[in-house]
Amino acid sequence: MAATISLWALAWLALAALLVAASPRLGRLRVAVSLCWIGLFLLTVEDALLTAWLALASPAGAPAGLSDPDGIAGLVPQAARAGVLNTAAWAVGGAILAGWIARRALAAGRRWAWWALSTLFGLVAVTHAGTAWTIHSRGLPFPTPAAEHGGFGWEPIAVGLLSWGAALTLSYGPIFRAQPNDPAKPAGGIARSLYNFGYRYFRVPWDVGPRRELVDLLKRGCFPPGRAIDLGCGTGANAVFLAQHGFDVTGVDFAPAALVKARRRAQESDVIARFVEDDLTYLRNVTGPFDLLVDYGALDDLPLPARDKYVEQVVPLARPSAQFLLWCFEWPPRWWERFVPFAAMSMAPGEVERRFGPYFEIERIAGTEVPDPRAFIAGYACYLMTRRV
Ligand SMILES: C[S@@+](CC[C@H](N)C(=O)[O-])C[C@H]1O[C@@H](n2cnc3c(N)ncnc32)[C@H](O)[C@@H]1O
């Protein structure tokens, strides 16, 4: 065995196996975090130390006191050494970040953490395979097993991948088969944090005051005053505008920093509006019915499964004959949007009709006639919908 697997890797393999065996007692998510750390250590930290050593070793070979049985240090040209060191620093930084994600978010059952760690796992696996292939195809010596030379070989990498893979497998069940609307879970995950960060530290680009279609329709008398709700109200411009025109308004958003600004706006405008922190895909703090629903740019932000939940939650808020003004980005989905996180920020043509058609009469009152797929924002649409009686 020692001829093919270094004792070092074998020890980690044994620890990983013990952890997996103990997972029913220790908890799958807790064990998954430990396995992830083992994987990260073996795949990134250990590799980074090796590259740091290569970068620092003298051109003649290893520094005094360190053996270089495979003659690898001598193969790294001087010019590459700074780059190698740089890569090592990035690897350690990335490993620390991934370890933190595992500890804080994977352990808390966050789906985004599982996806982030899976993506990273894929990248690390591919880069390791690529390195092995490059070394092999150029006829360079592979670091060989401990028994033959004394250096580290491929075994710790294999154990690292195994351990990380086991972490993802173990955590899949508790994370994805859990009750999706578990009240103990804070809503929104990474999207909420990003919005909150944006609202706290910047003036967000969509903070442009009450929106044109809403203002026009209201001035034309299309919306008689009543109870109104602004879904994903942001800093509250539309909600405050409605309150100024006699509506009893509730603004809902999951970003607390947006609500702080919205409340300040209402106070400065001397109107009363309620601003409630809630998740549009799982409403806990809002009760209907409302006469007017407004959504400027919240529904299109949601990933597809969350849009189903939004519809489930929002439709019952509309009383019979209530009106719903919905503004969204709209264009045919572009292939690359599937692969870029948070790029899915538009409705597909026909999607609004498909989702809301069973409950509302729908009129498209504004929008881009022919979306331009070369533009980043390819098009938009605005719908006025009336709840069927
Ligand atoms: C593009 S912004 C538009 C804000 C506002 N309607 C405006 O026009 O200024 C989308 C808003 O929806 C909120 N949002 C997104 N997903 C949400 C969710 N699941 N629950 C509650 N609010 C959400 C965001 O925090 C953000 O304020």
Per-residue pLDDT tens for 311-330? 999 999 999 999 999 999 99
Contacts of residue 256, Cβ cutoff 8 Å, sequence gap at least 6 = 196, 277
Helices (H), 27-110: 28-40, 46-56, 78-101
**How many CA atoms lie within 13 Å of 230's alpha carbon, on the beta-carbon side?**
29
- The answer, as to whether pTM is greater than 0.75, is no
Q: Are residues 127 and 250 in the same domain?
A: no
Q: Are residues 344 and 274 in the same domain?
A: yes
The CATH number for 347's domain is 3.40.50.150
Q: Are residues 152 and 223 in the same domain?
A: no
Is position 181 within any domain?
Answer: no
233 CB within 6 A, ligand 1: yes
382 CB within 6 A, ligand 1: no
State which of 112, 185, 192, 263 you would mutate to test the pocket of ligand 1, scoring each by most atoms of that ligand within 8 A of its C-beta: 192
Q: Are residues 100 and 156 in the same domain?
A: yes
Q: Are residues 44 and 80 in the same domain?
A: yes
Is position 374 within any domain?
Answer: yes
Per-residue pLDDT tens for 81-112? 777 777 778 888 888 899 999 888 888 888 88
Q: What integer pLDDT is reported at residue 150 of this predicted model?
A: 43
Confidence of residue 63 (pLDDT cuts 50, 70, 90): low
Is position 99 within any domain?
Answer: yes
Domain hosting residue 266, numbered range:
189-387
310 CB within 6 A, ligand 1: no
Q: Are residues 211 and 350 in the same domain?
A: yes
Is position 265 within any domain?
Answer: yes
Q: Are residues 128 and 206 in the same domain?
A: no
Q: Which two tokens stand for residue 387?
A: 């709840």
Is position 16 within any domain?
Answer: yes
* Three-state SS at 359: coil
Q: What integer pLDDT is reported at residue 180 of this predicted model?
A: 47
Q: Residues 336, 367: contact at Cβ < 8 Å?
A: no
Q: Are residues 236 and 345 in the same domain?
A: yes
Q: What integer pLDDT is reported at residue 30 of this predicted model?
A: 85
Per-residue pLDDT tens for 131-170? 778 877 777 666 554 445 444 467 778 888 999 899 998 8
199 CB within 6 A, ligand 1: no
Domain boundary among 176, 205, 225: 176
Q: What integer pLDDT is reported at residue 230 of this predicted model?
A: 98
258 CB within 6 A, ligand 1: yes
Q: What integer pLDDT is reported at residue 141 of this predicted model?
A: 60
Give the integer Cα–Cα distance in Å for 252 and 258. Answer: 10
Is position 184 within any domain?
Answer: no
**How many CA atoms lie within 13 Å of 128's alpha carbon, on the beta-carbon side?**
24
Q: Are residues 145 and 199 in the same domain?
A: no
Q: Cα(232) to centroid of ligand 1, in Å?
A: 4
Q: What integer pLDDT is reported at residue 74 of this predicted model?
A: 67
State which of 203, 252, 253 you would mutate to test the pocket of ligand 1, scoring each by most atoms of that ligand within 8 A of its C-beta: 253
213 CB within 6 A, ligand 1: no
380 CB within 6 A, ligand 1: no
Q: What integer pLDDT is reported at residue 360 of this predicted model?
A: 98
Per-residue pLDDT tens for 332-386? 888 777 666 566 689 999 999 999 999 999 999 999 988 888 887 889 999 999 9
Please give the single-letter amino acid code of residue 139.
Answer: G
Give the integer Cα–Cα distance in Å for 52 and 48. Answer: 6
**How many CA atoms lie within 13 Å of 174's alpha carbon, on the beta-carbon side?**
20
Domain boundary among 125, 143, 176: 176
Is position 155 within any domain?
Answer: yes
Is position 296 within any domain?
Answer: yes
Domain boundary among 176, 211, 240: 176
Q: Are residues 149 and 218 in the same domain?
A: no
Q: Residues 259, 275: contact at Cβ < 8 Å?
A: yes
Q: Are residues 215 and 116 in the same domain?
A: no
Per-residue pLDDT tens for 268-308? 999 999 999 999 999 989 998 999 999 999 999 898 888 99
What is the number of structural domains in the chain?
2
Q: Are residues 315 and 360 in the same domain?
A: yes
Q: What integer pLDDT is reported at residue 142 of this predicted model?
A: 60
